[in-house]
Chain A
Amino acid sequence: MTRNPVIKVRNLVKKFGSFVANDNLSFEVYEGEIFGFLGANGAGKTTAIRILTGLSEPTSGEVMVAGFDARRQPEEIKKNIGYMCQKFSLYDDLTIRENIMLYGGIYGLGKALIRERTNQLLDRLNFREYGDRLISSLPLGLKQKLAFSVAVFHEPRIVFLDEPTGGVDPITRRQFWEMIYETASRGITVFVTTHYMDEAEYCDRVSIMSEGRIVAIDTPAELKKQYDAESVEEVFVKIARPGMKHGKESETADNKREA
């Protein structure tokens, strides 16, 4: 894998009044990788994503996304990223084709190109005949897959997925992750937050946030080794437990071994 960073964050701080939502974050995400962004609710994930997607300005620090400064060029960033949030994001009263036409148009793609890619997409998902059906008539799993396809329809450099598999059955989740892999193999970086720790195992690298800070960042295998854990879930629970929070990884691991 090329180690070419598409997201560079240095000393990012975001404050709301006296509340520090992001406390000195520094990390990099590399091109074509699947980066899992984990953390308990209220750990500051959403704030960080809002800054990375140009929705919110950092209080201080340096944030580069797809080669653009999040503070000065948020509009450029927006052209180069895709986004899918936990709430379902297609329009229920529009057909599949109309939805795609809308989002494709918003990202500046020409009509002919949109039509061509729409046909390819529908073929790939095996629902060409549903193209003119209203979104509201589709099952949730299909909608979710479609929303993801629409998020990467304009071939962005990075796609942000904010808890994309919430409320979806295990089989669809699996198919969904196959789509994520396929997307990453095309060179699109995937930045994903999730509550399902088994999904974290599928990521190339994960970071774990707690109380506004990144307390661990590495490959799932390396993290499990460091924390002497069976799964990422165990790692997560150990980190999130009070009294063992910041920067004591090796100690904690050693203590555990001695015991």
Chain B
Amino acid sequence: MKRFLGFVRKEFIHIFRDVRTLTILFGLPAVMIILFGYVVSTDLKNASLAFLDLSKDDVSIELTDKICSSGFFEKTADLSGYQDIDRILRSGKAKAVIIFGEDFGRDLEAGKNARVSIIADGSEPNIATLVTNYATAIISGFNQQLLLAGQVSVPVIVPEVSMFYNPSLKSQFMFVPGVITMIMILICALMTSITLTREKEFGTMEVLLVSPLKPVHIILGKVIPYFFLSFVNVVTILVLSRLVFGMPVNGSPILLLAECMLYILLSLSIGILISALAKTMQQAIFISLVGMMLPTVLLSGFIFPIENMPKVYNWLSAILPPRYFIVIIKNIMIKGTGFAHVWKETLILAFMTVILIGLAIKKFRIRLQ
């Protein structure tokens, strides 16, 4: 046991003396959270709009005010005619143009349907969709207001949509669980495979194998520090996303942390397995990044919904641990569900962990022959 502790201590020294390791370990999660939280945000904020108001009546002015005061939009230009639309969209000064026709006020007074046109810049489809959706929502809200005030009399069916669990549809709620999932794979798999192959490359592994330390102790000794640090990392990310984005933990924090531990264990065993396959640190990095990072980002449901994928990718994603972990973590954090709703995914992860650890140990043994 004393032998083993000395060995674990040495691994901590390695980590804390290497600036690059420390940066990846603690800098990366913070950067990722901020990056995905702010930069990759799919929320709309102060999108530039141009208005072409040919009607200039009370209602059109009121609606314009309402759109601009929503916080989602900002009026950047008042156009004087249809000929300006193309110019303003091309210049990029507006993401969309909202047009009130000449008949807008008159039609409304006459009890007819009044039309508002929204012309969006389709060269950026995501933003165009967001802009039109948001604008439509504001207009139909305004519609309803008119209806209640009795200013218009046409009965319309107005859908009332409300979002459960994430009422304001914050995109961070989607990214934070994904980032945790990704970072754990990155740090655990990448770092452990690097640290193990480093010993191989430098020839120290041979000396360790010839020593009375058992192979299991060598692996554990190298992995335990990363287990600890990864756990610290998870907690840091959770606290950070809480403070910066107000990301809640609606379910049991203990269950959440327990699931994180399971996932860390799983990622670590992937790292050990990679180190058994890779001969050099570069190979280990390559396998970890291309083999683990990419599928995690693309196929785990982190960004792109699994339901929309072609069948083949759907099957492929079924063998990816991150897919299940994302479900677990989203359920616990956002929906606040208990173990009863995530036991299936947990079981799959536990099963994968056992298999991976078994494989890793077997591979390590083969190398000894």
Contact = CB atoms under 8 A, between A and B. Distances in A.
Contacts of B208: 106
A78 interface: yes
B212 A107 contact: yes
Contact of B203 (A53, A87, A94, A106): A87
B14 to A, nearest CB: 6
Contact of A105 (B3, B14, B210): B3
A51 to B, nearest CB: 11
B203 A86 contact: yes
A88 B13 contact: no
A69 to B, nearest CB: 16
Contact of A93 (B13, B211, B369): B13
Interface residues of A, number: 30
Interface in B201-224: 202-204, 206-214
B225 to A, nearest CB: 14
A78 B207 contact: no
Nearest to A54: B210
A81 B203 CA distance: 18
Contacts of A57: 369
A231 interface: no
A98 B202 CA distance: 17
Interface residues of B, number: 25
B17 A106 contact: no
A108 B2 contact: yes
B207 A85 contact: yes
B160 interface: no
Residue with the highest number of chain A CB atoms closer than 10 Å, among B3, B7, B210, B214: B210
Contacts, number: 75
Nearest to B10: A102
Contacts of A83: 206-207, 210-211
Contact of A94 (B13, B206, B211): B13
Contacts of A98: 10, 13
Contacts of B124: none
A87 B198 CA distance: 13
Contacts of A88: 202-203
Interface of A: 53-57, 75, 78-79, 81, 83-94, 98, 101-103, 105-108, 160
18 contacts: A56-B368, A79-B212, A83-B210, A84-B207, A85-B203, A85-B207, A88-B202, A89-B202, A89-B207, A91-B204, A93-B13, A94-B10, A94-B13, A102-B6, A102-B10, A105-B3, A106-B212, A160-B210
Interface of B: 2-3, 5-7, 9-10, 13-14, 17-18, 202-204, 206-214, 368-369
Given A57-B369, A91-B204, A105-B2, 16 more contacts: A56-B368, A84-B207, A86-B203, A87-B203, A89-B203, A90-B204, A91-B202, A92-B202, A93-B14, A94-B14, A98-B13, A101-B6, A102-B6, A105-B5, A106-B6, A107-B211
